[in-house]
Structure 1
Amino acid sequence: MRRFLILLSLFFLTSCGRVNPDIKGELSENIERIVITNTRYAGRYTIIDKKAILRFKNKIIRANKASINSNLDPDFVFDFYSGNKRVASFKYIAKINDKEVANLIDEKGNLYNVSTTIEDEFIKRLLKVSKNENVPEYYVSAINLIIEKIGAKDSVIAVDLKKEVMTLRYLTSVDIKEIFEGINKNGVKVVLKDSTKNYDYLMILDTKKYSGNRVEAEITVVDNKGTKVLYKLEGNYKDKWEFFISFK
């Protein structure tokens, strides 16, 4: 019985520490620095400490192959350097907990899932949560208001976020997806534009100014006949968002 338990423990430890040979091959050279870049703003963090590099690298080479592509935009890019030569680069999508879903993608498009504990190495430096003050509430309140204005019911609204920069820079793709796809008013389903081609309305968001408790924005709504209506919003936050809305 004791021998069985020892063998079982060894098997468990070996499984937990299993190295991915494909990734290990990409990182076979001596890694001298790792540059982590936030894809939504010019935020960059460079790891040069040898112990930190080894710890980060050991997590990457233990990534498992993933079968599901989330199709979310990457939040970060990991670049590995030996001297001045970049030897490997990976795209990373934060906050994905499902081990079947890819959160790490190499330059060839191969899908992997790496432990989210890797975020402990950099996320607090590159995601300033305090900068997100009232952002989710702003989007939910503004979109619900527009849904009421256009009288949408039991329909699909695709949201275009290409012009959104200042309000999304400190959110992850998972955060963004959860904020918008969590909206459900009058049977209306809200989806991100890049995730579907079938929708009844297109809503183009353009936040002009945002300070956490004050916002100025333009929202263009296009129906399935191609008719466009542009709404101008000015809002203030006092326990909740209150908007003044006009047409342009």
Structure 2
Amino acid sequence: MKNNKFSIIILTALLTLSMMLSGCTFINNLEVKMNLKNEQFEYIKQNKIDKIVIQNVRDSGFRFMVTNSNAIDDIYKLLSEGSEVSKKSSLDPDYIFEVCIGDEVKEKYQYVVGASERDTGNFYNEYKAFSVSKNLENTIMQNLSVIRKPRDFQYIYYQSILKVIERKKDVLYNDNKVGIDIGTDSDCLKYIFSADLEEFKKNLNKTLPNVHMVNNNYGDFDTVIKVKNRGYNSTTFKTLITVENKKDKSFESYYIVAEYNYKDWDIKVSEPDKMPQDW
């Protein structure tokens, strides 16, 4: 009698486990069919990957390897939750991902941080494109304890440039072709992303027509506005912005000091060529 009861208990447990497993499979299949999940990155979950190498496109020195299994699993989860789409983003990529087995690169992808274009993929290779959460960039930064992104970077960086352009707007309007050069701002390149740049360009054109980003075409512009960060911490951000006018051969330097005061930034722009005492 006892043996029969024990057998019934074992059978019930096995049936329950079977139903749970089949239920998980059903839910997984449903998520895949509804394009809420994809199975293209299952090889990462299967522990066949030794490392993921991530390279910042704008800053060649910002290259690192993710080898921790928990960190790799975090990346897998975000990628598997991405929806497969028919086309990739039109924006320039911010990162290149190399998924490696040993020293062999199994897959290579390009990633656009925070891209929000409708029905376009911000994580893609030449074969497939996926729309993945912007939390992927947060996951990258969380695994880089040595990197400290400045507070409100996308606001304070671009707003400082706009304030100088507003100051010089009347002069720059005179049939000048104006270029903004951020390509040598080495301390900040790792934080500059295509989606933020696109928004900045829209704000630029509201302030000043015929202004473009310098991209290896310095000689095409009459006036070049160059940006170079001079240090930052959690409450202070310093930037040197120079304005070179090739037509009248003038050159001016503007010293920007921004201080964070209770949920807002106070941005101060110096007079031309006048360095503040606390600089």
TM-score by length of 1: 0.69
> 1:210 Cα deviation (Å)?
2.0
RMSD: 3.9
- Residue aligned with 2:49, SS: coil
Q: Distance in 1 between the 2:199 and 2:137 partners?
A: 19
> 1:214 Cα deviation (Å)?
4.0
Which residue is 1:216 aligned to? 240
Which residue is 1:244 aligned to? 271
Which residue is 2:68 aligned to? 49
Q: Does 1:173 align with 2:194?
A: yes
2:57 to 29, 39, 46: 39
Mapping of residues 191-210 of structure 1, within 5 Å: 191-192=212-213, 203-208=223-228, 210=230
Mapping of residues 73-88 of structure 1, within 5 Å: 74-88=93-107
> 1:58 Cα deviation (Å)?
4.8
> 1:164 Cα deviation (Å)?
3.4
- Kindly provide the amino acid, as one letter, of the partner of residue 96 in structure 2: V
- Residue aligned with 2:136, SS: helix
Q: Distance in 2 between the 1:127 and 1:203 partners?
A: 33
Q: Does 1:163 align with 2:184?
A: yes
Identity value in percent: 15
Q: Does 1:69 align with 2:114?
A: no
**Is the 2:115–2:195 contact (alpha carbons within 8 Å) kept by the matching residues of 1?**
yes
Q: Distance in 2 between the 1:104 and 1:230 partners?
A: 44
Kindly tell me: are residues 209 and 127 of structure 1, through their superposed partners in 2, closer, same or farther at Cα, counting changes over 3 Å?
A: closer
Q: Deviations over 1:109-131 (max 9, x none)?
A: 75443233323421343561339
> 1:93 Cα deviation (Å)?
1.2
Q: Distance in 2 between the 1:39 and 1:186 partners?
A: 28
Q: Which deviates further from its counterpart, 130-139 or 92-101?
A: 130-139
- Kindly provide the amino acid, as one letter, of the partner of residue 164 in structure 1: D
TM-score by length of 2: 0.62
Which residue is 2:172 aligned to? 150
Kindly tell me: are residues 191 and 43 of structure 1, through their superposed partners in 2, closer, same or farther at Cα, counting changes over 3 Å?
A: same
Q: Distance in 1 between the 2:120 and 2:180 partners?
A: 24
- Kindly provide the amino acid, as one letter, of the partner of residue 231 in structure 1: F
**Is the 2:56–2:94 contact (alpha carbons within 8 Å) kept by the matching residues of 1?**
yes
What are the ranges of 5 or more consecutive residues in structure 1 without an aligned counterpart? 1-5
- Kindly provide the amino acid, as one letter, of the partner of residue 199 in structure 2: E
Kindly tell me: are residues 158 and 98 of structure 1, through their superposed partners in 2, closer, same or farther at Cα, counting changes over 3 Å?
A: same
> 1:147 Cα deviation (Å)?
2.1
What are the ranges of 5 or more consecutive residues in structure 2 without an aligned counterpart? 1-22, 259-265, 274-279
Bigger helix fraction: 2
- Residue aligned with 2:99, SS: strand
Bigger strand fraction: 1
Q: Deviations over 1:183-233 (max 9, x none)?
A: 355663644356xx9xx96543333552355443322346xxxx4644321
Q: Deviations over 1:90-147 (max 9, x none)?
A: 12110113342331232x3754432333234213435613394832221111122232
Q: Deviations over 1:155-187 (max 9, x none)?
A: 975534333333443232222232342135566
Q: Distance in 2 between the 1:96 and 1:52 partners?
A: 23
Q: Does 1:100 align with 2:127?
A: no
- Kindly provide the amino acid, as one letter, of the partner of residue 216 in structure 1: L
